[in-house]
Amino acid sequence: MARIVILGAGISGHTAARYLGKWVGKQHEVVVVSPQPKWNWIPSNVWVGVGEMNEQQVTFDLAPVYRKINVDFHQARAVSIHPEGGGAAAAPHVMVEYTDPARAGETAPITFDYLVNATGPKLNFGATPGLGPDGGHTVSVCTPEHALEANEQLQAAIAAMKKGETRTFVVGTGHGMCTCQGAAFEYIYNIDHSLREAGVRDKARLVWISNEYELGDFGMGGVHIKRGGYITNGKVFAESLMVERGMEWIVRAAVKKVEPGKITYEVLDGSEHELQFDFAMLIPPFAGQPLKAFDGAGEDITGEMFAPNGFMKVDGDYTPKPYEDWSKDDWPRTYQTPKYPNIFAIGIAFAPPHLISKPMQSANGTPINPTPPRTGMPSAAIGKCVAENIRDMLAGEAELKHSACMGEMGAACVASTGSHILKGTAATMTVFPVVPDYETYPEYGRDMNLTFGEIGLAGHWMKYILHHVFIYQAKLRPGWSILPD
């Protein structure tokens, strides 16, 4: 019997756990380690952040779900990886520190035959002074707890506006190298909708601030989309949405610090500017979780297994090369680590070989460019791919037959622009492939028959339905494995 240990239970880790539990859970031991006892459908945190959903609607307890498929759950945080054993255990193992109240603070080794790093991102609020809800001056929708606090502040602002006061709302990215613009993009439109529903939109200034070179970049190097039979670029699509709603925008910006009521940011020409605010929701940059790695002799090999940003190196091409030489073939296919074939990294935990968007820096040398997105559909596809390969390895297959290269997969995004069964809307966008492939699609880098965008009420219905479908699937309800990931 082999033991597969999965670190993390986000979209990617939970996907791998679901399938491995279903396929090999009776013959082998599947263990999930996560510091949080609950699963969170992160895309719907935006609705928690405007009071349209509560925490219970976007979370559920993991342990009872995993028992259905013979998966063992440990509420703990991974501290270090020992791929050759040594120290606390002779066999390969991961050291964990328990966050379960019954074992809080206890450390122990968990041995493994296969290890899947799905630890996700560290929300690196500390990279920008004054950023974030914990000791900072901005709110967040990255977790349900953050989103609840954001809604409290939003409702307080609405109450003040109903008394005749004005408010400035700033939403976007809180650092020059953030990813996940989509969550912020979605949130500003939900704020706009909430203000209109409350009858106070005329008393609000809404400002978008982002590290994108142009609106609609989303860390994917921009995108051309087919809309209404015509091809347009993401910049026009995104700008039209903001113009229609009376929003302002600032791009090519790196937030340098946040003080009470004031954001200081730098733009590409090196100049610094100030932006006053009453309410600000800025997404933090992501870093890898603070995991260490040690060889059998106890020597620190963290620098070999992880990139400087803390994400784990896998089978991508990390050779430094000029932007003009970047290729979709640089991107990982199997997410297997080069030195240890029994270790994989999936979802946000793997290190991208380079940016997708063109690297930019200000006249002062400050990097101002989005980092690659790999949440949502790509995370789920990667998680399932690795689960398939581990299943086959357990059956004796020597060659990894399943791949999930982001240069060969598409992604769909349904971004809510207001939650209401009759008046809500959503921007629906599909992109294929995520990483542009100019060899196959020389004009735009993507298949224009599979890359398109629309906005309307139908998109809102779709997002609402998908919320319930994915919660249903994640809870392992009957027929879950036949639903799309």
Nearest C-alpha neighbor of 265 from the set 282, 273, 177: 273
Q: What is the mean pLDDT of the chain?
A: 94
pLDDT the model gives residue 338: 96
Q: How confident is the model at residue 396 (pLDDT cuts 50, 70, 90)?
A: very high
| Residues 13, 382: Cα–Cα separation, whole Å | 9
Q: What is the pLDDT of residues 123-177, one digit of tens each?
A: 999 999 999 999 999 999 999 999 999 999 999 999 999 999 999 999 999 999 9
pLDDT the model gives residue 479: 95
pLDDT the model gives residue 230: 79
The model's pTM is: 0.95
| Residues 367, 176: Cα–Cα separation, whole Å | 6
Over range 11-28, report the average pLDDT: 97
pLDDT the model gives residue 374: 87
| Residues 387, 289: Cα–Cα separation, whole Å | 22
pLDDT the model gives residue 225: 81
367: left (phi over 0), alpha (psi -120 to 50) or beta: beta
Euclidean distance between the first and final Cα of the chain, in Å? 28
Q: What is the pLDDT of residues 399-435, one digit of tens each?
A: 999 999 999 999 888 888 877 777 778 888 889 999 9
Nearest C-alpha neighbor of 406 from the set 387, 425, 431, 389: 431
pLDDT the model gives residue 419: 72
Q: How confident is the model at residue 231 (pLDDT cuts 50, 70, 90)?
A: confident
Q: What is the pLDDT of residues 266-283, one digit of tens each?
A: 999 999 999 999 999 999
| Residues 446, 7: Cα–Cα separation, whole Å | 33
**What does the H/E/C string look like for the chain?**
CCEEEEECCCHHHHHHHHHHHHHHCCCCEEEEEECCCEEECHHHHHHHCCCCCCHHHHEEEHHHHHHCCCEEEEEEEEEEEECCCECCECCCEEEEEECCHHHCCCEEEEECCEEEECCCEEECHHHCCCCCCCCCCCECCCCHHHHHHHHHHHHHHHHHHHCCCCEEEEEEECCCCCCCHHHHHHHHHHHHHHHHHHCCHHHEEEEEECCCCCCCCCCCCCCEEEECCEEEEHHHHHHHHHHHCCCEEECCEEEEEEECCEEEEEECCCCEEEEECCEEEEECCEEECCCEEECCCCCECHHHHECCCCCECCCCCCCCCCHHHCCHHHCCCCCECCCCCCEEECHHHECCCCCCCCCCECCCCCECCCCCCCCCHHHHHHHHHHHHHHHHHHCCCCCCCCCCCCCCCCEEEEEECCCCCCCCCEEEEEECCCCCCCCCCCCCCCCCCCCEEEEEHHHHHHHHHHHHHHHHHHCCCCCHHHCCC
* Domain regions of the chain by residue span: 3-123+287-394
Q: What is the pLDDT of residues 210-220, one digit of tens each?
A: 999 999 888 88
Written out in words, the top-level CATH class of the domain with range 3-123+287-394 is alpha beta
pLDDT the model gives residue 402: 97
Nearest C-alpha neighbor of 402 from the set 385, 382, 420: 385
Q: What is the pLDDT of residues 59-118, one digit of tens each?
A: 999 999 999 999 999 999 999 999 999 887 889 999 999 999 999 989 999 999 999 999
Contacts of 364 (CB under 8 A, 6+ apart): 266, 270
Burial 349-388 (b: 16+ CB within 10 A, else e): bbbbbbbbbeebebeeebebbbbbbbbbbbbbbbbbbbbb
